[in-house]
Amino acid sequence: MQYVKLCDLATIKFCSITPSRSKQQAIPSKWLVCANFLADNEIVHTPIENYVVPDEEWLLHKDDIVVKRITPTFINYIDYCPDDVYCGNNLIIVTPNKEIDAKYLAMILNDKIGELSKESSVGAVMKSISRQDLEMLEIPFPDEHKRLLLGELWYNGIELKKKKIKLAELENIRTTYIIKKTIHTSGGKQNG
């Protein structure tokens, strides 16, 4: 199996807003922060607004991969992104180049992110990822057909899991409704 360094397959951008260097603007910009990125590729697309002039490198695009720099345990593949939303502090944007499928790269990064953060946090209080460790990460590089299939399999598995959770939530709402309706129509006592 051939391996290729991540820095040869993607552009890696560390997002870091330093208050002393940030410029203010009159119009607010929209930002996603660490709390917006949840496990199982869940992204809460409710941005915060602030008046910091954003660096255009931090603009989020479809097919980007977002990694939390501090205590990362998963990644987020961007399959949808509202317009003009930026990544905030302590996030890393990995933008795959044309040689590699974004979903495949997201799958590999999701698998390796835990061990990567352990290796780069020697002596640190909180686990984190260094630029050098991320750039030098070896990515398995099978043929293109396998990369596409594996990426789709990973992504579809996550989407299926989310749909099963949503279905269970809807079933619970339905069951609760049926129970309440049955109690009400059979003359059950109501509180209040």
**Domain regions of the chain by residue span:** 3-142
Segment 163-192 shows an average pLDDT of 82
Average pLDDT over residues 116-134: 74
What gap in Å lies between CA 137 and CA 92, rounded to an integer? Answer: 14
pLDDT digits (tens, 9 = 90+) for 79-110: 998 899 999 999 999 999 999 999 999 999 99
- What is the arrangement of strands in the sheet containing 75-77, beginning at the earlier edge strand? 10-15, 91-96, 65-68, 75-77
Cα 25 to Cα 189: distance, rounded to the nearest angstrom: 60
- Alpha-carbon distance of 121 to 130, in angstroms, equals 8
Mind listing the pLDDT tens digit for each residue in 54-66?
889 999 999 999 9
How far CA 162 is from CA of 87, 100, 156, in Å, comes to 24, 26, 10
CATH architecture of 3-142: Alpha-Beta Complex (3.90)
pTM: 0.83
d(CA 50, CA 56): 15
